[in-house]
Structure 1
Amino acid sequence: MKKYSKVTPEGTKDLLFEECLINRMVEQKLSQVFVSRGFHEVVTPAMEFMDVFDPETSGIAPEIMYKMSDRRGRLVVMRPDSTMPIARLAATRLQNEEKPLRLYYTQRIYRNNPNLTGRSDEVLQSGVELLGASGKRADLEAIATAVEALSHCTPDFRLELGHAGFFRAIAAQLPISPEQREDIRSTIEAKNYAALNTLLDGLEQTRSVAAMRRLPRLFGGEEVFAEAAPLCGSEEAASMLEYLHSLYRSLVQLDLGDRLMVDLGLVQRNDYYTGVVFSAYAQDCGDAILLGGRYDNLLSRFDLPMPAIGFSVNVDAVVKLLAEQGYAPDCPKPDVLVFGPEGCEMKALLFASGVAAQGGSCETSVFETEEETMAYARRRGICRVAVVGDTVREIRLENERGKGESR
């Protein structure tokens, strides 16, 4: 026997029964929200040329991509992100469509996480991209859609707002290399205060260094804006902070209460974010269940510059959260088990088709005898058996012990 013939690759798993039902339920709820908001579904290939995910633009390191080559020797990767392929799609097949484009998707991404045990390399995401729209109205629509989508799946979540440009505006005032900037960014993202202080201690202690030191601690409610205002060392940073504050004041009307937070330390690795960024977290779930933000420069890389904003929901994380909360839908049982004695097999199949056509659910028996069929029905808890011959004889089973009567 092959050594790995009975296991799945690291970072992947099989989904069974109840997990599949919860999965489909979450997908359907999200899709219903997206469609009701005027978004249209698209699907991109699971395999893309690596050029689509240029690390300098995408912020996705090459080592986390699953790579292969096509028959011409060109480098192909398993899709590690959905936004980049949708940007490619918008710039090619949809370039002449009326703007804005309202697109949504439900598809898997693939990332190699060798040092992150417990995380999946294959993740189902569902999200939207609003392409060709800028300004406050578009930002509010995207965030409000994200809140509505999550609320239909799990009401217990926290929404955090930040601004990708705020970190860059402060970092631009520091005498650091791109590599040092990335080291600082990663320590802020991890809220690793000790490592951040070590990196900043080697710099001249200016107002900008003090602001960068404070950045991961600027987390909380509306009071964060007053705390951050004195740290703005440029008009650009002050303008970003004021814009984010205006979004916050509008989003208060969503009645999230203290579940609406500000986090100026939101500095995700994806380099294509340019404006507002937002994420959602649920209790007992370490990773974000939703990530999103504005990316106004990404489409120019595909020769069709336009503003854009979007978000993605980690469907797998939401499914796991619901399962841990005790949500366990029953696997549906067929309304009737249909058995055709020898010579009547096709009559049984045609009868089953008729039941299905009328909206019922049924299963046809593959057993040779009525006795075997009845025993199977009892084991499965199927309450009705239809024996289809020259006539149809229905047998009702009162309970799993098999007490019943014919009629």
Structure 2
Amino acid sequence: MKKNDLITPEGTRDLLFDECIARREAEQKLNILFTRTGYSEVVTPGIEFYDLFTSSTRHFSQENMYKLVDSKGRIIVMRPDSTIPIARLAASRLKDTDFPLRLFYNQSVYENNALLKGRSDEVVQAGIELLGGENKKRADYEALSIAVEALSGFDSDNFRLEIGHIGYFKTLMDKLDVDSDVKEDIRTLISTKNYPVLNDLLDAIGDTKVVKALKQLPRLFGGVDVLDKAAALYTDDKISEILDNLREVFNRLSSLGYEGKISLDLGIVSHIDYYTGIVFRGYLSTIGEAVLKGGRYDNLVGEFGRECNAVGFGVNVDSAAKHMMICGKSKKAETSQVLVFGKAGHEVDAMRYVLDLLKKGIQAENSLFDSSEESEDYARRKGIKKLAVIGDEITVISLLE
């Protein structure tokens, strides 16, 4: 036997029975929500050219992408992100379609997480992209409201949405005189809230107001008072505008009935560099990482030749399904109501009887055993309540005890 015959690659796994049902249920909840709010589904290729993900703002580390070579020797990758291909799509095949474009997707993304044990390399994501909204504020409220409804659909009591603004972090970083590698290290340490290493790195840079603000950035999360703390650390006209915008967003969403489910986090600094404005993450109580991620990205579609504002988010469907299973909020695999056994010479009659039951809405399955006794034993073990024996006559036996 070959060594890897019975296992799956690291970062992947098989889904069985109830797990499949939970995933489909999570997908269906999102598909219904997105469709009813005016979004149309698109599907992009599972493989894309490597170049698509390697510009300065569309940069994905080559070590984290699964790479292949096509028949012409060109490097292609398994899709690590859905937003970038949809931006390409909006500027190419949909270039003559009027804005706003409301698009949604439900597809897998792939990322090599070899050094992060427990992380999935293949994740099903479903999300929306709102492209071309003239009024950014209206578009942000739409995306945020749909994000809250998506989380609420999985568990109306045990979710939260954290909102930040990438502009606060970027403004501080623009004032820091360090190279791009150091900036990326700072971004990673803030994102992971690694206070000790972050402080050591910043101490080596200096003791300015900007440095002090960056040190505190991972701690700037909670209620609206976070904005006052941020302003006290460092402010200018641009930052004041950002903080005022967040205050308004927080208050207005809270007034829609989401109070207690929404918080602020200025430490949301995704490694994806195409975000330009508001950013947000959604959490479910049993999952230790964000289930939903999104934000505003006004320059991305323009990189493909069609300028427009844009905002969107993606949901980790597998994590949402896992939460529903843990909390008992997903359906279980249903047992057949009737097992149908056909005596010798009546095998086709038995299958016809099964199909007739299905048309009546009765869940039934065909017995593959050679005797009614074996069929009855199987039905009892499976919890099937009735056995129909098909011969010259039809006999239905109740197996309830």
| Counterpart selection for 1:205 from 200, 204, 207 | 207
Residue 158 of structure 1 pairs with residue 156 of structure 2: no
Partner of 2:8: 8
Aligned length: 399
Query: Matched residues in 1 for 2:69 and 2:61: separation?
Result: 18
Partner of 2:37: 37
How much has 1:233 moved relative to structure 2? 3.7
Residue 261 of structure 1 pairs with residue 258 of structure 2: no
Which AA in structure 2 matches 1:187? L
Give runs of aligned pairs for residues 339-350 of structure 1, distance below 5 A: 339-350=341-352
How much has 1:392 moved relative to structure 2? 2.6
Deviates more, 1:92-101 or 1:229-238: 229-238
Partner of 2:282: 280
Query: Matched residues in 2 for 1:310 and 1:328: separation?
Result: 26
How much has 1:181 moved relative to structure 2? 1.4
Deviates more, 1:344-353 or 1:165-174: 344-353
Which AA in structure 2 matches 1:140? Y
Partner of 1:404: none
* Distance verdict in 2 for CA 1:362–1:269, change over 3 Å: same
How much has 1:200 moved relative to structure 2? 2.1
How much has 1:319 moved relative to structure 2? 2.1
SS at 1:56 equivalent: coil
Deviates more, 1:132-141 or 1:52-61: 52-61
Give runs of aligned pairs for residues 276-355 of structure 1, distance below 5 A: 276-327=278-329, 329-355=331-357
Partner of 1:103: 103
How much has 1:74 moved relative to structure 2? 1.3
Which AA in structure 2 matches 1:333? T
* Distance verdict in 2 for CA 1:32–1:328, change over 3 Å: closer
How much has 1:378 moved relative to structure 2? 1.5
Partner of 1:48: 48
Which AA in structure 1 matches 2:139? A
Deviates more, 1:296-305 or 1:206-215: 206-215
Partner of 1:194: 196
Tell whether the 8 Å contact from 1:232 to 1:238 is kept in structure 2 after alignment. no
Tell whether the 8 Å contact from 2:151 to 2:284 is kept in structure 1 after alignment. no
Give runs of aligned pairs for residues 41-80 of structure 1, distance below 5 A: 41-80=41-80
Query: Matched residues in 2 for 1:114 and 1:203: separation?
Result: 32
Q: Percent of counterpart pairs with the same letter? A: 47
Tell whether the 8 Å contact from 1:130 to 1:310 is kept in structure 2 after alignment. yes
TM-score where L is the length of structure 2:
0.95
Tell whether the 8 Å contact from 1:55 to 1:61 is kept in structure 2 after alignment. no
Query: Matched residues in 1 for 2:182 and 2:396: separation?
Result: 76
SS at 2:7 equivalent: coil
Deviates more, 1:35-44 or 1:289-298: 35-44
Query: Matched residues in 2 for 1:36 and 1:318: separation?
Result: 20
Query: Matched residues in 1 for 2:215 and 2:39: separation?
Result: 41
Residue 131 of structure 1 pairs with residue 131 of structure 2: yes
| Counterpart selection for 2:388 from 386, 389, 393 | 386
Deviations 1:309-329 (A, max 9, x none): 111111111222233334564
Deviations 1:244-267 (A, max 9, x none): 211111111233333311111111
Tell whether the 8 Å contact from 1:23 to 1:319 is kept in structure 2 after alignment. yes
SS at 1:10 equivalent: coil
Which AA in structure 2 matches 1:32? I
How much has 1:204 moved relative to structure 2? 4.1
SS at 1:57 equivalent: coil
Query: Matched residues in 2 for 1:328 and 1:48: separation?
Result: 34
SS at 1:161 equivalent: strand
Q: Which runs of 5+ in 1 are unaligned?
A: 400-407
SS at 1:104 equivalent: strand
Give runs of aligned pairs for residues 101-250 of structure 1, distance below 5 A: 101-133=101-133, 134-155=135-156, 156-250=158-252
How much has 1:283 moved relative to structure 2? 2.9
SS at 1:255 equivalent: helix
How much has 1:358 moved relative to structure 2? 2.5
SS at 1:243 equivalent: helix
Query: Matched residues in 2 for 1:328 and 1:49: separation?
Result: 38
Q: Which runs of 5+ in 2 are unaligned?
A: none
Which AA in structure 2 matches 1:123? V
* Distance verdict in 2 for CA 1:283–1:365, change over 3 Å: same
Query: Matched residues in 1 for 2:209 and 2:299: separation?
Result: 29
Deviations 1:270-294 (A, max 9, x none): 0010000000123342211111100
Tell whether the 8 Å contact from 2:386 to 2:398 is kept in structure 1 after alignment. yes
Deviates more, 1:270-279 or 1:116-125: 116-125
